[in-house]
């Protein structure tokens, strides 16, 4: 049990961004566009980058690609923001072994998704994360996204993990269940935080006591989104509401035909990256693309 890690060594509050992995027309990682995106996000005021999350299409990257993408992002970021590395899966032994593949210098924390497809019990989920907590060299952010994994991480399991392991410092909650989030916030141990995993629920969750978000839509509109989160954290909900409702139409469209197809389409419109995704994902359909173009054209940054 990693009780020697200071909970304050990484602060998950503010605006984290689950960064895409840009591909060129041949389906290869486009490092030039990746550098452009990293600089764009950091210059726009985001607080940290999450590498190899769902939005990064980690499931379709080889291990060698994952390692190189991480190392390149470290170089591009130049220690200006923290970097969180996505490490997770539904084979606990394989997840534990994967820690040996990465150089954790420059990595502030990991984001670890709950096991998917297997549909483990709450005890199985607990034991999975307990095993990760015993080997991780950096703090851990749990990731609960039952719409993708097929199994919810209950509030009770989250609180149990947070109370037992000092290096489990936060949870990214994408259950869409505000009551569950409030239960976690009300009963969590000191030093453990909840961050939103749903862009549209960021404002209400921070009002309930969440400390920030790991966002997708922030890539489309980082300045306004980061400003909205900052306003929320300062208690300026009038300003936050204005920005929230300004951003919401983009958020709804970005997820209308799958992620990261929507955000990649927007980034292409902005001239930052290509919109290529790897199978089994495909780009957004023509009707969604048409609506996205209208919103982006009329949107005032």
pLDDT in tens, 50-100: 999 999 999 999 999 999 999 999 999 999 999 999 999 999 999 999 999
User: For residue 215, is it within any domain?
Assistant: yes
User: For residue 134, is it within any domain?
Assistant: yes
User: For residue 301, is it within any domain?
Assistant: no
Here the CATH number for the domain that contains residue 231 is: 3.20.20.70
Contact 172, 201 (CB under 8 A): no
- Prediction pTM value: 0.94
User: For residue 258, is it within any domain?
Assistant: no
User: For residue 279, is it within any domain?
Assistant: no
Positions marked catalytic: 143, 172
pLDDT at 298: 76
Contact 245, 218 (CB under 8 A): no
User: For residue 150, is it within any domain?
Assistant: yes
pLDDT at 299: 72
Q: What whole-number distance in Å separates Cα of residue 29 and Cα of residue 25?
A: 10
pLDDT at 7: 42
Beta strands of the chain (E only): which ranges? 14-18, 48-51, 82-86, 109-113, 140-144, 168-173, 193-196, 212-215
pLDDT at 297: 81
User: For residue 228, is it within any domain?
Assistant: yes
User: For residue 257, is it within any domain?
Assistant: no
pLDDT at 172: 98
**What does the DSSP assignment read for 117-177?**
SS---HHHHHHHHHHHHHH-SS-EEEEE-HHHHSS---HHHHHHHHHH-TTEEEEEE-S--
Mean pLDDT over each residue of the chain, to the nearest integer: 95
Segments of the chain with pLDDT less than 70 = 1-8, 300-301
**Count of domains for the chain:** 1
Other CB atoms within 10 Å distance of the CB of residue 227: 19
Contact 84, 50 (CB under 8 A): yes
- Range(s) of the domain holding residue 83: 7-240
């Amino acid at each position: 049990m990693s009780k020697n890690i200071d909970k304050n060594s990484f602060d998950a509050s503010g605006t984290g961004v689950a960064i895409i992995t840009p591909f060129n027309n041949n389906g290869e990682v486009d490092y030039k566009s990746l550098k452009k995106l990293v600089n764009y996000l950091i210059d726009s005021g985001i607080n940290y980058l999450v590498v190899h999350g769902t939005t990064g299409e980690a499931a379709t990257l080889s291990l060698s690609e994952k390692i190189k993408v991480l190392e390149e992002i470290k170089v591009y970021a130049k220690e200006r923001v923290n970097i969180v590395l996505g490490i997770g899966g539904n084979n606990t032994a394989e997840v534990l072994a994967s820690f040996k593949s990465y150089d954790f210098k420059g990595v502030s924390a990991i984001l670890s998704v709950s096991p998917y497809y297997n549909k483990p019990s709450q005890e199985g989920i607990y034991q999975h994360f307990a095993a990760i907590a015993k080997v991780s060299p950096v703090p851990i952010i749990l990731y609960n996204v039952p719409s993708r994994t097929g199994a919810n991480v209950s509030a009770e399991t989250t609180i149990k993990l947070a109370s037992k392991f000092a290096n489990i410092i936060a949870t990214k909650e994408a259950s869409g269940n505000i009551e569950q989030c409030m239960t976690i916030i009300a009963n969590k141990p000191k030093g453990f935080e909840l961050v939103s995993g749903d862009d549209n629920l960021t404002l209400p969750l921070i009002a309930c006591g969440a400390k920030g978000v790991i966002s997708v839509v922030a890539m489309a509109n980082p300045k306004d989104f980061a400003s909205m989160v900052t306003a929320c954290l300062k208690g300026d909900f009038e300003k936050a509401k204005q920005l929230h409702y300004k951003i919401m139409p983009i958020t709804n469209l970005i997820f209308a035909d799958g992620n990261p197809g929507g955000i990649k389409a927007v980034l292409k419109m902005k001239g930052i990256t290509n919109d290529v995704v790897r199978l089994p994902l495909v780009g957004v359909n023509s009707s969604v693309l048409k609506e996205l173009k209208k919103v982006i054209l009329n949107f005032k940054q």
